[in-house]
Amino acid sequence: LLTVALAALLFPNRAQSQWALLDARADTIVRHGLDATYNLRYQQADSIFNSMIKLYPEHPAGYFLLALVDWWRIVPNIDVDSKVDRYSESFNKRIDRTLEICEKRLDKNPIDIVGLFFKGSALGYRARLNVSKSFSPTTIAAITDGKEAYDIILQCQRMAPSNSDVLLGSGLYNYMAAYIPEQYPWAKSFISFLGPGDRQLGIQMLRISGKRAAYANVEARYSLMEILSNFEKDYPAGLEVAKELYAQYPFNPVFHKYLAKNYYMTSDFTNADSAWTEILRRVKRRTSGYEITLARQGLYYLGDIRLRQGKLDDARRFFEEAAKQSGRIGEDETSWIVQATLKLGNVYDALGDRKKAIAQYEDVLDMEEYSGSYSKAKGFLATPYR
């Protein structure tokens, strides 16, 4: 969780109003390209942004947007190192090219706002990718990139204080700079150089950016949805944002996942069942971006819904398949395997097969602990699930 929070703290302003400084033709290209990107039509997005580079070879927008396409190749696979590595090389090359173009502009004019915006964005995205790889030597580089990116954001905000696109980066900073010290007091000295934050101010900035930003509105709502769902645990509010994003981009698996998850977390099990079932269909059809990591989540949630409904044989099959799919990814004892194993014990208890239930709970105690799994398993060993 800290890694995710730190990554969010390092996010820069991701989409820049400076695209509007180009002519109407460029604005149209950007909007079409972003639509393709968020619907994960990767080849179409690459083609669109390459055409922009041909028209504006000395502007960093096209190169940065190509890196954004790679980023959205990475996002659906962010938990699988092999797939992150697969797209990282192209992503880093595009980021490097963006920075090169920005530096040329800044050498000529140190306050060139286009160069500043895109330099900050490129550094921030590079930081986010590096910190997503967990704590390692790349984390130090990520913190350095993130600090420089944030300083640039502040400079851009002073230059364009009414710009709603800039509020994305400021909102993320204010929220995470307050959230991390609250949750992890030991981290205060670690991030003190970034300055104080304000959670509610950060949320309000993201809401404003989500409504008013010319280009960053989707990224702002995406960030807001993550914060509301993962950190604030305000699932009804997270659901409303997820509905908006999924309606706008119905083939984005990340937005689809948050829609399904927040339906479940708000106890709307009918819609949760429908949404997770559709996600599994798309995984089976190999729809772009719908990876096996989504399958194991969907199987787990569908199993839990069946358990709640008393459809025990169906629940057992879903939980068994959830654990199986986690194994196919090649990971050891993920939280999904642990949770599915615990739930299988619940199913066997409900079926009256105490011996098999005990075996599942004991298996949980032999695995890594996730979210109090040990205490839950011990509780069920002492008192059968009802």
> CA 296, 81, 133 angle in degrees (round to 5)?
115
- Digit-by-digit pLDDT tens for the chain (386 residues) are 333 333 333 333 333 333 445 677 888 899 999 999 999 999 999 999 999 999 999 999 999 999 999 999 998 887 777 778 889 999 999 999 999 999 999 999 998 888 988 898 888 788 778 766 544 445 556 666 767 777 787 787 787 777 787 788 778 778 877 887 787 776 666 666 667 789 999 999 999 999 998 888 998 999 999 999 999 999 999 999 999 999 999 999 999 999 999 999 999 999 999 999 999 999 999 998 898 889 989 999 999 999 999 999 999 999 999 988 876 765 555 788 899 999 999 999 999 999 999 999 999 999 999 889 999 999 999 999 98
**CA nearest neighbour of 152 among 140, 160, 162, 142:** 160
What is the predicted pLDDT for the residue at 20? 46
What is the rounded end-to-end Cα distance, in angstroms, of the chain? 31
Structure-block tokens of residue 203: 């949320």
What is the predicted pLDDT for the residue at 331? 57
Q: pTM, whole model, 2 decimals?
A: 0.85
What is the predicted pLDDT for the residue at 153? 73
Q: Are 172 and 202 in contact (CB under 8 A)?
A: yes
Residue 364: phi and psi, rounded to 5, are: -60, -40
What is the predicted pLDDT for the residue at 164? 81
Task: Enter the DSSP assignment of 76.
Answer: G
What is the predicted pLDDT for the residue at 334? 75
Q: Are 96 and 54 in contact (CB under 8 A)?
A: no
Structure-block tokens of residue 197: 């934050």
**CA nearest neighbour of 41 among 225, 251, 228:** 251
Task: Enter the DSSP assignment of 187.
Answer: G
Structure-block tokens of residue 325: 């799919």
**CA nearest neighbour of 167 among 203, 192, 196, 142:** 203
Q: Residue with structure tokens 């839990």? A: 304
Task: Enter the DSSP assignment of 370.
Answer: -
Residue 125: C-alpha distances to residues 12, 99, 167 (Å): 7, 12, 17
What is the predicted pLDDT for the residue at 22? 61
How far is 68 from 75, CA to CA, in rounded Å?
A: 10
**Residue 335 CB coordination number (10 Å):** 16
Using a 10 angstrom Cβ sphere, with 0-12 exposed, 13-18 middle and 19 or more buried, the burial of residue 184 is middle
- Which runs of consecutive H residues, i.e. helices, occur in the chain? 2-9, 24-38, 42-55, 61-74, 81-108, 113-131, 137-159, 167-183, 188-191, 199-212, 217-226, 235-248, 253-265, 269-285, 292-309, 312-329, 335-351, 354-365, 373-382
- Which runs of consecutive H residues, i.e. helices, occur in 213-291? 217-226, 235-248, 253-265, 269-285
> CA 326, 330, 336 angle in degrees (round to 5)?
25
